[in-house]
């Protein structure tokens, strides 16, 4: 079971994640303009000297900018997480993203590619449409990652936390649709979206993914109980990892 933790932006936090036993340690480039972050570079180098793998999300998708970032950081995995549900499936925009992944694969053959598949909260989507979308990206991806898409009247007028992308909602996606993706996919699927130490075993049991991912659910909290971005609660991460490894020992 792959255990993936985001958002690790500093070398000292990376060292803590390695010590706890996290398999994939993820960082995020927040800006195309300020893409060169020495702290993230050092984070990825530290991970490279360990048994863990580095994963990097660029919150942009212009080909030259992506290539420049990958040349500089050289992560083990590049993770694309655009909100595909906001793109016409017959459009040039979608084909551009598919072509981009193929170009990354050809130029950076040692870097694996992860593609987020947006999955709505329970009862707000259907499995066929999600699989139809995923199947377009399967030939140019090494991993899928499910993540929660905010849709419907409950979220009317409210964009995703990061506009144009999916992730860091803290909400659980529809595990039935995620399970269907796992069954259909020929590549490993990592379950993400609202996973905490308290519910990760239930998610694994219901979805049977190749791995699980946590960001918001293992962050530190402020005084009002809201998660703090880029600050991990190491005890929560340790609890998350421990629950998964204990389950594996029982099998």
The per-residue pLDDT for range 136-156, each reduced to its tens digit, is: 999 999 999 998 877 654 444
Domains and CATH numbers, the chain: 2-250 (3.20.20.70)
Which 3 state secondary structure label does DSSP give 108?
coil
pLDDT value of residue 156:
42
Q: 23 φ, ψ to 5°?
A: -80, -50
Q: 76 with 49: CB under 8 angstroms?
A: no
Q: 51 φ, ψ to 5°?
A: -75, -15
pLDDT value of residue 138:
97
Bridge-based pairing state of the strands 219-221 and 112-120: unpaired
Bridge-based pairing state of the strands 2-5 and 24-29: parallel
To 10 degrees, the CA torsion angle through 153, 159, 162, 167?
A: 10
Q: How many helices (H) and strands (E) does the chain have?
A: 8, 10
pLDDT value of residue 122:
67
pLDDT value of residue 127:
56
Q: Return per-residue pLDDT of the chain as tens, 251 residues.
A: 999 999 999 999 999 999 999 999 999 999 999 999 999 999 999 999 999 999 999 999 999 999 999 999 999 999 998 888 767 766 788 899 999 999 999 999 999 999 999 887 766 555 557 788 899 999 999 999 998 877 654 444 456 666 667 767 778 888 999 999 999 999 999 999 889 999 999 999 999 999 999 998 999 999 888 888 889 999 999 999 999 999 998 87
Task: Tell me how far apart the alpha carbons of residues 170 and 241 are, in angstroms, rounded to a whole number.
Answer: 18
In a 10 Å sphere around its CB, with 0-12 CB exposed, 13-18 middle and 19+ buried, how is residue 60 labelled? middle
pLDDT value of residue 170:
73
Give the helix, strand, coil percentages of the chain, each rounded to 5: 40, 20, 35
pLDDT value of residue 84:
85
pLDDT value of residue 155:
43
Task: Tell me how far apart the alpha carbons of residues 98 and 30 are, in angstroms, rounded to a whole number.
Answer: 22
């Amino acid at each position: 079971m792959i255990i993936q933790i985001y958002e690790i932006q500093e070398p000292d936090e990376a060292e803590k994640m390695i010590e706890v036993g996290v398999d994939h340690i993820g960082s995020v480039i927040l800006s195309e303009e300020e893409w060169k972050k020495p702290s993230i570079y050092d984070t990825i180098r530290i991970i490279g000297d360990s048994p863990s793998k580095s994963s990097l999300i660029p919150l942009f998708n212009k080909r030259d900018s992506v290539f420049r970032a990958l040349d500089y950081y050289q992560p083990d995995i590049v993770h694309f997480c655009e909100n595909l549900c906001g793109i016409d499936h017959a459009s040039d925009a979608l084909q551009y993203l598919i072509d981009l992944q193929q170009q990354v694969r050809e130029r950076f053959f040692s870097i694996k590619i992860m593609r987020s598949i947006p999955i709505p909260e329970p009862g707000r989507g259907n499995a066929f449409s999600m699989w139809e979308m995923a199947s377009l990206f399967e030939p140019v991806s090494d991993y899928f990652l499910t993540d929660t898409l905010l849709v419907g009247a409950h979220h009317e007028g409210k964009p995703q936390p990061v506009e144009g992308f999916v992730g860091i909602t803290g909400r659980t996606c529809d595990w039935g649709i995620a399970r269907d993706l796992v069954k259909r996919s020929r590549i490993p699927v990592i379950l993400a979206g609202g996973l905490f130490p308290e519910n990760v075993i239930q998610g694994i049991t219901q979805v049977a993914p190749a791995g699980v991912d946590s960001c918001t659910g293992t962050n530190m909290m402020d005084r009002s109980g809201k998660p703090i971005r880029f600050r991990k609660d190491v005890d929560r991460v340790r609890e998350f990892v421990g629950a998964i490894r204990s389950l594996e020992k029982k099998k």
